[in-house]
Amino acid sequence: MIETALKALFILLYATFVGFMFMGIIRIVTARIHRRVGPPIYQPILDTIKLLSKKSNITHGLIYDFGILYAVGATVLAVMFIPLGNVGVLRAYGDLILITFLLEIPMLGIMFAAMSSGNPWAGIGAQRALLTLLAIQVPLGFAIVALAEYYGTFSTYQIVMAQQTMGWSIAHLPLLLAAIAYDLVLQAMFGKEPFDIMIAPGEISLGPMVEFGGKHMGLLNIQHAIALFAETLFFSNIFLGGGVVTAFASPILNTIASLGVLLVKQVAVLLVATFMAAIFPRFTIDQAAKFYWKWPTIIAALGAILASL
Amino acid sequence: MEEITFRIAPESKVRKKPSFLKPWMSIKYLFKKPVTIKIPYESLEPAKDYRGFHTLNWKTCIGCNMCGQICPARAIEMTWIEVDGKVEKRPHPKVDYGRCTFCQFCVDVCPTNALGFAESYMLTTEWKDEELQLFDWVPIPPETFREIQESRRDWRFPVERIKFNKETKEVTYYLKNGEEFKFKILGYGLKPPAAAKPKPAAKPAAKSVEKKEEPKAEKKEAPAKPEEKKE
């Protein structure tokens, strides 16, 4: 019992810390592509500390507070379900549909909070976020179907184990197509540039985030960090072979090695997303919906069909 | 009638095709050196004759108020000054950096080249009254300014602190090189205040005279402005 609690705590702390480092990496890489130096890598942590230590916290009622907690809770729960190398609290139960669902819940939580603030910008942002959410469902669904069809299971952990013997998912053509579609979807899930329509800084002044400040924004930053970690982790688990290393005799060494391998894979996923964010301009919401229902859907559907043959 | 043909580039030569792959070219900048000046560690040299703060040669200034007339922001006001107990015959310009736009028209128009400028351009203070005094000064002589600028090369305002004693009307500039620069401001405007007129009065009387002058000096200032416009 205590061991499980300790494990959960370890996963939570690790996810938060690495998530913040990911946010720092995003800022540095974006800055380097712009030929700037950028902030130090721990800058998001400082930002969050500063936000959490603000004196005034504006609240607009119960739902406004609850939505944020809901988002954070859902993200934490998602991290618990995704297998993290050998470490995992609920990894035996983490099936693809559940995790995919849990990764989208935070957006709903933020929507709750934003809509209850009564700010028109937040309303527009929420509208756009929900439409994005709707648009990414189709390719996401097909990608998941392709995976499940190919491996014959919905369990993420079993998919990771299957990749140990069969090679990485992206080595197989149907799953490669699914991975490409999923990668395009990741861009919207991260809230990164071509599809950051819901946040749209400069266009609708941060959209849903417009009313948040102080502790709410700090919690949202933490949520974003954990979500970054969870999404990259999920992608590298199902498509990049996960990270279960059994090369060493000692279990601790094995754990550390698998965490390291996973980290490299996660950073690779993150870098692709950051590059795309740095070089492509933002879509409008109708273009994004059309795009998601067109190319990623076609690619993912092709993958699903090929997988079922 | 001659026919004129205008060259217009055809649209086919101007318009580019949208591409998915070309934006990826910009990733090459990831590995190039950032073009950034890390300001606290590196410094940027301003161009020669960068329009910065003013310098004033107190010996050659003839108090003609040309600078005050041309100043588009009316940042320049003539000031009657007493240095080392000796009243200057002519008023000197006082520049208010709260209003100054650094166009340096005053420098161009100065007939004796008494007003000049140096490259220093940084002046930051907090919102304290005694620090805000820094924004209002009679420029110091160019030699002193240049010396401070060359020795520090941080392109900041050469004065650390300005102290204005309201009772004795004594102004002290604490310069960045540790020197103190003292003088008295007797009055403002074009017409000399009563204290500025050479009057070898008895010394105990001088103080009471000075106090009375304050309102007078201000009153004189008011009519002085319409005069400027007439000119």
Average pLDDT over residues B190-194: 78
Lowest mean pLDDT among A62-71, A89-98, B101-110, B192-201: B192-201
Q: Is B64 helix (H, G, I), strand (E, B) or coil?
A: coil
HSE toward the beta carbon, residue B133, CA cutoff 13 A: 15
User: Cα dihedral sign for A245, A251, A257, A260?
Assistant: positive
**Quick check: B221 pLDDT over 50?**
no
A271–B contact, CB cutoff 8 A: no
Task: List CB contacts (< 8 A) between B24 and chain A.
Answer: 275, 279
pLDDT at A297: 92
Q: What is chain B's mean pLDDT, rounded?
A: 80
Tens of pLDDT, residue by residue over B113-136, are: 888 888 888 888 888 888 888 888
> What residues does B183 pair with on adjacent strands?
B171
Residue ranges of the alpha helices (H) in chain A?
2-33, 43-52, 62-81, 96-117, 120-151, 156-166, 173-190, 215-238, 251-279, 285-308
Average pLDDT over residues B194-202: 56
Contacts across the A-B interface (CB distance below 8 Å): 30
In contact, B190 and B224? CB cutoff 8 Å: yes
B35–A contact, CB cutoff 8 A: yes
Contact B30 A280 (CB under 8 A): no
pLDDT at A24: 93
CA A13/CA A49 separation, integer angstroms: 15
pLDDT at A59: 79
Higher pLDDT, B178 or A106: A106
N-terminal to C-terminal alpha carbon distance within chain B:
52
B28–A contact, CB cutoff 8 A: no
DSSP code for B175:
E
**Quick check: B63 pLDDT over 50?**
yes
pLDDT at A125: 84
Of A32, A278, A279, the CB nearest to B34: A32
pLDDT at B197: 61
Tens of pLDDT, residue by residue over B151-161, are: 888 888 888 88
Task: List CB contacts (< 8 A) between B34 and chain A.
Answer: 31-32, 35-38
The structure tokens listed for A287 are 């273009």
**Quick check: B215 pLDDT over 50?**
no
**Quick check: B216 pLDDT over 50?**
no
Residue ranges of the alpha helices (H) in chain B?
11-14, 66-70, 105-109, 129-132, 142-152, 203-230
A249–B contact, CB cutoff 8 A: no
pLDDT at B208: 45
C-alpha distance from B38 to closest chain A C-alpha (Å): 9
Of A29, A38, A279, the CB nearest to B26: A279
Contact A32 B30 (CB under 8 A): yes
**Quick check: B28 pLDDT over 50?**
yes
User: Cα dihedral sign for A210, A212, A214, A215?
Assistant: negative
HSE toward the beta carbon, residue B213, CA cutoff 13 A: 22
CA A26/CA A47 separation, integer angstroms: 15
pLDDT in tens, chain A (309 residues): 888 888 888 888 998 999 999 999 999 999 999 999 989 999 999 999 999 998 887 878 888 888 889 999 999 988 888 888 777 777 777 788 888 888 888 888 888 888 888 888 888 888 888 888 888 889 988 988 888 888 888 888 888 888 888 778 788 888 888 888 988 888 888 888 888 887 777 777 777 888 888 888 899 899 999 999 998 988 888 888 777 777 777 778 888 888 888 888 899 999 999 998 888 888 888 888 899 998 899 998 998 888 888
Average pLDDT over residues B92-108: 90
**Quick check: B13 pLDDT over 50?**
yes
Of A33, A37, A275, the CB nearest to B38: A37
